[in-house]
Amino acid sequence: MKQNTEKSDEVIDELMPKETFEKRFSFITDDTLKKNIAIAFEYIVFLIDTAGKENHKQLIRSSLYKDATVYTGTIVEACLCHVLIKYLSVNKLQKTRVLTPGWKEEAQGLIHEFNKKKRIRYVIEHISYEDIRDSSNFIEINRACLRGKILSKKEYDIADEIRTARNKIHVSGLKEIDNSYSKEKLDEIFAKANKIIRKVEKKLSKI
């Protein structure tokens, strides 16, 4: 995912080493995250290269392109999570503005017990805003980036398309036969991912 939108066949032709991917993601200041993104991208290149070999059946080729799509989604998710954490850490965004509030329990106790099957209890709760973490949901990260104007509405829609494609890793949630992945569809995901990654890079250059 270089500055100019690239097709997957161009990536395959280069078969770039991990260090080249690390350089492309130099705007990621977390060195561990940057290296893991580079490893994921190297795996994507391997999947595309393998899928392009003529000896694979269509079903196997589709599965390889699906894996590449899923990994592309994880890279986008990681970049958005990183920029969001950065903006929150330097107070360019406030948690109360971008994160979804939820109730957090402070205390609970027994008021009255009628019998072994019936009782009255009390609960004290307050509104809380959970921190964005590496394990935060992709959808919450996208929404927070929209609220914080890291992403425009159009870019949010693109990021959500990528999230939806990434979530097809969950087989139990599929509503149809999922075996129609192709190089052309992967190229479309690459182009969309490139737009989001470039926006993240631009936003990080401002802090």
CA distances to 87, 144, 163, 205 from 131, in Å:
12, 11, 20, 23
In 3D space, the residue among 52, 81, 190 whose CA is nearest the CA of residue 145 turns out to be 81
- Give mean pLDDT in consecutive 10-residue pieces for the chain, a chain of 207 residues: 47 56 90 93 92 83 93 96 95 91 93 96 92 80 96 97 86 74 92 96 93
What whole-number distance in Å separates Cα of residue 5 and Cα of residue 76?
Answer: 15
Alpha carbon 87 to its chain centroid, in Å, reads 17
Asked if residue 30 lies in contact with residue 82, where contact means CB atoms within 8 angstroms, the answer is yes
For 127, the 3-state DSSP assignment is strand
Global pTM exceeds 0.85: no
pLDDT value of residue 88: 94
CA angle 116, 120, 126 (to 5 degrees): 135
Burial (CB count within 10 angstroms: exposed 0-12, middle 13-18, buried 19+), residue 46:
middle
pLDDT value of residue 168: 80
DSSP letter, residue 131: P
Tokens, residue 138 = 């992709």
CA distances to 95, 96, 120, 154 from 149, in Å:
13, 14, 45, 11
pLDDT value of residue 134: 65
